[in-house]
Structure 1
C-alpha cells in the first residue's frame, strides 16, 4: 500500500502535538522563547536552545554562556523553561511571582563560568488545589491564565490541575440525559464556587450561569490546554467518578447514595453507584463530550468520591473504584486517576480496587501530616508530596519552610521512596507568601537535603534584585518566627482578629482556623523593623514594597490581638470608659491597616471586584460575578443559612474591605456592648444581615490611595 507524503507529514504533526516520539520540531523550545519575550524581552535575543538526552529518564537542563549568548540545553520544553528561570534567578537576580515581579533589564549579560547541570529526581512537579481555581482564579481571563502558565512553566510544573470549562461538559452530558437547557444550567455552580461543585460538595450555588459564560469558559479552557501542551505541562482534567445532580434520579431509574449535607448546610450532589447499569452509559457520555470540547490527548483525571464526609454506606468501595477507573481507561486508555490525599481519602478500600500503576495520590497536608509514612506509601501507590499552607487565601505570613525540605528529603530516602514520584504545591489560595511556592517548586530539582537558612540568602538576592546584609539578617529572623516549623498542627496562617465576626471570647475567625501565633511576635516585629530599615535602597523595587506591606500588615494584625484582649477585659470589668478608649484604638488600627493595604494592588479589594465585573459579557453575568466575589470572601453561603459555619472562611485583610464591612461590624459591636453595660434592652446584632447587605450593595470600593509619605508615616507608627 502506498502512503502519501502528506499523510506521513500529517501523522508526524499529530505525534508532535500529542507528545509522542521525539520529533525535532517539538524540541525547538519556541514556547520558552515566547515566555522570555513576554516576561524578560531584554534577554530573548541572547538565548540559544538545544536538546540533550534525559538523565536516565529524568528531566535535565544545562546552562552555559559563550559568544555573548545564554545556552540552555534541556531534555524537553519543560526543563528548558526551568533552565531559563534558573538563569534568571541565580545569575541575573531576577524573578516572577504572584506578589510582584523583579524582571527589569540588566546592562550586561551575566556569565556562567562553568556549565551548570541540574537534574530533577522526580517525574512530576505538580500544582494546584481545586480550591485555588476558585479562591484565586475564579475570574481569570486569558491574559491572567497566560501569565499563570508562564509562572508554572518557569517553575518546572509539568502536571497541573486544570478543571476550567467543565460547565460545558456537564451541560452537554445532562442534555443527552433528557435535561432541558435550563435544567442543566441549574446544576452548575457560579464562577466563585466551581471548586466545591466539582468536588461533590454542592450544586447550583452562585448561579445561575448563562450560555455566554459557559461558552466563554469552554473557549478559555481550549486555549489553556493548548498552551499547556506547548509548555510540556500535562493538564489534570475532571473525571467522572459518580457525582450526579440530585435531580437525575427523578428522570431515570438509577441507584444512588444520598450524600447528605456539606458544611454550611449545602445539599451535596448524589453519588451514582458504579455497579448500576446506567453508570457506564453516563460516564461514556461525559467522556465523549469531554473529547468533543477538549480532545483525546488527555492523560490525567481528578475526582474524589466521598470527599470531606460523603457517604459510602451500602457501596462496595473496592468494586466501585475499579469500575470508575475501568470506564476512565476505556475512554482514555493509559490515563492516570489523580486522587487527593486529604483527611481519610483515598480510603484503603478504594485503593485496593485500582490499578496502582495508573493511579497518583497527591498528599495535600504535608506541612502537618505524614500520611505517606503512616499508610506505607499509600499502600504502595505512586504519590506526590505537597502542602496546602494556605486555606481560603487568607492573609498571614506563614509556611513551615524547613519542614518542606526535611519531609521531601526524608520521604525520598525512606523505605517508601520508590513510590514518591514528585513534589507539589496545593494552596487553597496562591496570592500570598511567594517564598513558600518558590522553595517547594525548586525542591523538585534538588537531590540533596536543602538547608533553608542557606537557600534563603539566594532567594533574597533574586526576590529583590540584589542582596543586602540587612535583608539577610531580617530573613533569618523571619525563618525563626513566622516561617519556622513548629510541631504544631494548624490550617494555614494564624488569623487576624480584625476580620472576625465580632463576639466575646473569639477563638477563631473561621471555623477551622486558629488565632494562636506559634512564634515569638516580638522577634517577628524586630525582623520587620530590620526589613523596613532597608527601604531607601529598595524603594523602587515592587517585590520589596509588596513584602514590606505584607510584613507590616502582620505586625499590626498581631498587635490587634493584644488590643482585642484589652477590650474583652474591659467588658468583663464592665468598665465602659476603658472600653470606649480601647475600642476606639482598635477601630483606628483597622483604618490604619486599610490605608497601608490600599497602597498596593496586591492587597486591594477593588482589584478582586474589578476582575469579577470584567469576567462576564452580559450585565446579568457581571452582577452575578460581583455577588459571587463578595459572598465568597464574607459569609460564603448559602443565603438561607445565617448560622453557616463557612462565614469568613475566606476572609481577607484587604484595603477597602477593612474600612467598610469589618469596621462596620466592630463599630456595631462596640455600640452593642456599651448599651449592654448601661443595662438597656438590646436586641441581638444580626451580622449576617450586615454581610448580605454589603454583598448586594453593588459598591466597587475604590481604594483610598494615600501618598508614599503618608504610608511611611503609618508604617513608622505601627512599628513603634
Structure 2
C-alpha cells in the first residue's frame, strides 16, 4: 500500500511539474505576441514566468542565463513593462510616437545581477479626452494595436478609451423615441467626439454615417479585448446626466441648461438626477454598454459641469451619489474616474461619493498643485499627471524636473496615502517623446529622479547610442526648452507663423503664449550640438525626427524676431522696411515648409491620409477630411468668424504652412502696405480663407529635398 501511495505521489509530482512547466510555457502569451510584433529578433530568446505581487504591488524581475532573457512578473502588464525596461536599459532600444529604434541587437545583452522593480502605485494612467480627438480621431485597428503595445511597454495599466460611444448613444436614444436623423444630429464628427462626450457641444463635425458608427463599435471591441490580455483596464464613458438639448421637447423632464461653451457652441443639457427619467435613461445606457462591450468593465469617466457648465440649483452631493449608484447598480465595485481640472470635481460633488470607488486624475501638474490645495482632494485617491501639450501644437516643451520633483513631493507629503498613481494627459501625443517616457517611468520608481542623470540613459535608448555632441545638446536642452521655470504656461510656446495675421499678436491660440521662457540663443547652441552628431545617425529614424523638430523650433524662434521687425516698421510707417521684413518672414515660412516636408511626422499629408483611410465610403471620407482640416484651422463652428477656438490646434506642418499660413501672411502684407497710403482698406477675411481651405479635397503630398539640399537648408537656419 505504501508503495502504491509512493507511486501515486511520484506520478502526482510529475504531473504537477508538467503542469507548472506547461503553465509557464503559456504564460503571458499576449506579451510574447507583442515581442513578435515589435522585436521579433528577441522572440526565441525570452522566457516569461509568473511571480507573486509584492505586497499587492506590480513587480517584475529580469535576468539572463545561457543566452536567454528571463522575465518574471506578477501580471501581463508588469511583464510588458519588464520587456520595455530590458529593451531600454540593456538593448538601448525604444518605441515612440516620433519614431522607433527597434533594430536587431546582434548579441543578447547580459544582466550581471537580477533586476527587481516594484511599482509604488496601483495606477499608471494614460490619455486625455482631447487626445482621442487631436491625435487619434482617425485611428484604425493597426494604429490602436501599436498604441497599446507602446503603452504596455511603458507599464500603463489604466487607459481612457471612450471609443465607440456613438453606438451606445444611438441605441439608447432609439429606445426613447429618437429617429435616426435626430440621433445623428446629436453625435459629433470623428475629430470632435472628445468635446461631445465631455458635454461641451453636440453634433459638430457630423452627421456621422451608420458605417462609421458600426466601424467604431467594432474597433472598441478589439481595443477592449487587447487591453484585457495586456493587463490594461479601459476607462469607459459613463452616464453622468448629459442628454441632447432636444430631449426636453420629447419628454416632460427637468433639465439644467448648460449654456454656451467656447466658440459659441451650445452644450448638451444636464438631466437632474431627481427626475424619474434619469434612472430610466441611465439604465438603458448601461444596458446598451453591456450589450456592446460586456460586463467586465471596472472604470468609467464622465464629468458633470465640465469647464464652466452650470450647476445652479443642483444638490451636487446628492446628484453625485445618484450618478455613482446607478453606475454601481450595473457595474458593481466599479470606479468613477473624474478629471481634476480647474475647480472640478467640486468638493460638494466629492462629498456625495464613496471615495473608495472614486479616482481623481490631476490633469495639470506641471503648473498647479491642486492635490495639495485640495488636501488630497479631500481624501480621495488621485493620480498625478501632466498635460504638457494643448491641441497637439508643435513646440519643444516639458517641465521635466518638475515632473520628478512634484511626484516625489506628493508621495512624501501628508497626502501621500491618497497618491494612487502617475499618468500622462496630453491633449496631443505626437510631440516631445521625452516627456512621456519620463512621466511613465516615474510610475515604476520610488526614488527622487535627477533628470540630468536620467537623460543620459534616455539619449542612449532613444538613438541607440550617445556621443559627446548629444550629451552636450541634451544638457543644454534641459537648461532651455525642457527646463522647469515657475511660470504658468499652457503648453509649448507658439509659432507666429501659424497665427491668424494681426498687429502685436500676443497669442496664436486664445489661451496659449508666444513668450519663450528660455534663452533662445542657448537653445540654438543645443541644436547645433545635436546636428553636429548627424553623420553618426544617418539611418536613425528617432534621431532624424528629433533633428527636424529641434531645427524647426530654431526657425520658429527666429520668426518671432522678424515679426517684431514687421511690427516696428508698421509703427514707424516705413513701407520699405516693412516690405523687406515681410518678405523675409514669408521666406522663413517657405523654408520651414521645406524642412518639415522631409519627415512624415510633420506633414499635413500624414493626417489627411489617415482621415481618408478612416472612412469606408465616399461620404465618410468627405466628412473625415472636413473634420481633419477644420480642427487644424478655425475649429468651429462654421457660423462664427470670431470663434475663440481658431488656431487652437494649429500645426507647423509641411503643406499647411505653404497652403494656408503663407497665403494669410501675404494678404496681411498687402493690406498693411495699402494702409500706409490709404487708411481705409478692407481687412482680409481670414475666416473665409480658412473655411474655404477646409472644404478643398487637396491632400498636399510633400516633396522631399535631396540630402545635400536638406543639409544646406539646416545650415542656413542655424547660421
TM-score range, shorter chain: over 0.9
Residue matched to 1:549: 548
Matches of 1:32 and 1:591, distance apart in 2: 45
Instruction: Tell me how far apart the structure 1 counterparts of residues 497 and 708 of structure 2 sit (CA, whole Å).
Output: 25
Q: CA deviation at 1:667?
A: 0.2
| Partner residue in 2 for 1:648 | 647
2:3 paired residue number: none
The answer on 1:300 being equivalent to 2:306 is: no
Equivalent position of 1:123 in the other structure: 122
Q: Distance in 2 between matches of 1:277 and 1:316?
A: 16
- Kept in 2: contact 1:27–1:77 (CA 8 A): no
Q: Distance in 2 between matches of 1:26 and 1:370?
A: 46
Aligned to 1:429: 428
CA distance in 2, matches of 1:558, 1:467: 27
Q: Aligned residue for 1:361?
A: 360
Residue 618 of structure 1 corresponds to 617
Instruction: Find the counterpart in structure 1 of residue 376 from structure 2.
Output: 377
Matches within 5 A, 1:693-704: 693-704=692-703
Alignment match, 1:15: none
Contact 2:198-2:306 within 8 A present in 1 as well: yes
What residue in structure 2 maps to residue 12 of structure 1? none
8 Å CA contact 1:460, 1:471 repeated in 2:
yes
Measure, in 2, the Cα distance between the counterparts of 1:25 and 1:271.
Answer: 51
In the other structure, the counterpart of 1:191 is 190
- Residues of 2 paired with 1:616 and 1:666: CA distance? 33
Whole-Å separation in 1 of the counterparts to 2:326 and 2:680:
64
- Write out per-residue CA displacement over residues 538-572 of structure 1, whole angstroms, 9 at most, x where no aligned residue: 11111000000000000000010000000000011
Uncovered stretches (5+) of structure 2, i.e. residues with no partner = 1-21
Runs of 4+ in 1 over 2 A off after TM superposition: 23-27
Q: TM-score, normalised by structure 2?
A: 0.96
Asked whether the 8 Å contact 1:186–1:208 carries over to 2, the reply is yes
User: C-alpha distance in 1, partners of 2:23/2:244?
Assistant: 47
TM-score normalised according to structure 1 size: 0.96
1:24, distance to aligned residue in structure 2 (A): 5.3
Counterpart residue number, 1:327: 326
Q: Kindly provide the CA deviation profile for residues 191-227 of structure 1, in whole angstroms up to 9, marking residues without a partner as x.
A: 0000000000000000011000000000000000000
Report the CA distance between 1:63 and its aligned residue.
0.3
Please name the residue that 1:387 is paired with: 386
What is the CA-CA distance between 1:704 and the residue it aligns to?
2.0
- 1:614 aligned counterpart, secondary structure: helix
Structure 2 match to 1:133:
132
SS at match of 1:271: strand
Work out whether 1:663 is the aligned partner of 2:662: yes
Q: Residue 337 of structure 1 aligns to a residue in which SS?
A: strand
2:59 touches 2:117 (CA, 8 Å); kept in 1?
A: yes
| 1:712 Cα offset (Å) | 0.8
Secondary structure, counterpart of 1:444 in structure 2: helix
Deviations along 1:113-167, whole A, 9 cap, x unmatched?
A: 1101011000000000000000000000000000000000000000000000000
Alignment match, 1:341: 340
What is the rounded CA distance, in whole Å, between the counterparts of 2:574 and 2:659 in structure 1? 27
1:398-449: CA deviation from partner (whole Å, max 9, x where unpaired): 0000000000000001000000000000000000000000000000000000
Structure 2 CA distance, aligned partners of 1:281 and 1:679?
66
Computed over aligned residues only, the root mean square deviation of the Cα atoms, in angstroms, reads 1.0
CA distance in 2: counterparts of 1:76 and 1:26, whole angstroms: 15
Number of aligned residue pairs: give it. 698
Matching residue of 1:489: 488
Q: What is aligned with 1:17?
A: none
**1: distance between equivalents of 2:425 and 2:195?**
15
User: Aligned-pair distance for 1:678?
Assistant: 1.4
The alpha-carbon deviation at position 25 of structure 1 amounts to: 8.3
Deviation at 1:710?
Answer: 1.2
Q: 1:336 to 1:612 in 2, by over 3 A?
A: same
For structure 1, which runs of at least 5 residues remain unmatched after alignment?
Answer: 1-22
Greater CA drift, 29-38 or 190-199? 29-38
C-alpha separation between the residues in 1 aligned to 2:105 and 2:311?
A: 59
1:416 aligns to what? 415
Please report how far the alpha carbon of residue 67 of structure 1 lies from its aligned counterpart in structure 2 after TM superposition.
1.2
SS at match of 2:203: coil
How far 1:537 moved relative to its partner?
Answer: 0.6
Quote the Cα distance in structure 2 between the aligned partners of 1:544 and 1:698.
Answer: 33
Conserved 8 A contact 1:123-1:422: yes
Q: Give the whole-Å Cα distance in 1 for the aligned partners of 2:188 and 2:132.
A: 13
* 2:542 aligned with 1:538: no
CA distance in 1, matches of 2:467, 2:701: 36
User: Partner residue of 2:518?
Assistant: 519
Q: Secondary structure at 1:71's aligned position in 2?
A: strand
CA contact (8 A) 2:245 2:268 kept: yes
Please list the CA deviations of residues 695-718 of structure 1 after superposition, one character each: whole Å capped at 9, or x if unmatched.
011111111221121111110000
SS at the partner of 2:159?
strand
How much has 1:683 moved relative to structure 2? Answer: 1.0
Check conservation: 1:27, 1:51, Cα contact below 8 A: no
- The superposition leaves residues 572-620 of structure 1 with CA deviations (integer Å, 9 ceiling, x where unpaired) of 1111011111100000000000001010001010000000011111101
Counterpart mapping for 1:233-312 below 5 A: 233-312=232-311
Alpha-carbon displacement from aligned partner over 1:157-193 (angstroms, at most 9, x marks no partner)? 0000000000000000000000011111111000000
d(CA) in 2 for partners of 1:191 and 1:166?
Answer: 11
Contact in 1 for aligned 2:24/2:48 (Cα 8 Å): no
Residue number in structure 2 paired with 1:5 = none
- The 2-side partners of 1:484 and 1:615 are apart by 38
Partner in structure 2 of residue 40 of structure 1: 39
Hey, what does 2:158 align to over in structure 1?
159
State yes or no: 1:463 paired with 2:474. no
Task: Kindly indicate whether the alpha-carbon contact (under 8 Å) linking 2:524 and 2:554 is maintained by their aligned counterparts in 1.
Answer: yes
Could you tell me how far 1:688 is from its partner in structure 2? Answer: 0.1
CA–CA separation in structure 2 for the residues paired with 1:183 and 1:516? 45
Q: Work out whether residues 60 and 73 of structure 2, in 8 Å CA contact, stay in contact via their aligned partners in 1.
A: yes
Deviation, 1:84, is 0.3
1:72 match: secondary structure? strand
In the TM superposition, what whole-angstrom CA distance separates every residue of 1:347-382 from its partner, at most 9, and x where no partner exists? 001000000000000000000000000000000000
Compute the displacement of 1:680 (Å): 6.0
Partner in structure 2 of residue 3 of structure 1: none
Structure 2 match to 1:638: 637
- What residue is the counterpart of 1:674 in the other structure? 673
- Could you tell me which residue of structure 2 aligns to residue 225 of structure 1? 224
Match of 2:399 in 1: 400
1:397 shift after superposition: 0.2
Match of 1:114 in 2: 113
**How far, CA to CA, are the matches of 1:611 and 1:397 in structure 2?**
24
**Helix, strand or coil at the partner of 2:333:** coil
* Contact 2:48–2:71 (CA under 8 A) maintained in structure 1: yes
CA shift, 1:469, in A, is 1.6
User: C-alpha deviations, 1:646-697, integer Å up to 9, x for none?
Assistant: 0000000000001110000000000000000112641121100000011011
Q: What SS is found at the alignment partner of 1:345?
A: coil
How far apart are the structure 1 equivalents of 2:344 and 2:379? 15
1:604 aligns with 2:612: no
Residues in 1 aligned to 2:96 and 2:353: alpha-carbon distance in whole angstroms: 38
Q: Answer yes or no: is the 8 Å Cα contact 1:606–1:701 preserved in 2.
A: yes
Name the CA distance, whole Å, in 2 between partners of 1:697 and 1:281. Answer: 44
Match of 2:12 in 1: none
Distance 2:30 2:435 in 1: 26
The answer for the alignment partner of 1:145 in structure 2 is 144
* Counterpart Cα distance in 1 of 2:466 and 2:68: 25
Asked whether 1:91 is paired with 2:103, we answer no
SS in 1 for 2:588: helix
Residue 440 of structure 1 is matched in structure 2 by 439
Instruction: Give 1:26 deviation, angstroms.
Output: 11
1:8 aligned partner? none
Q: For residues 170 and 714 of structure 1, what CA distance do their matches in structure 2 show?
A: 51
- SS of the aligned residue for 1:267 comes to coil
Contact 1:27 1:76 in 2 (8 A): no
Number of the residue aligned with 2:7: none
* SS of match in other structure, 2:614: coil
Distance in 2 between residues matched to 1:24 and 1:33, nearest whole Å: 14
Aligned mates of 2:24, 2:676 — CA distance in 1? 77
Shift of 1:509: 0.1
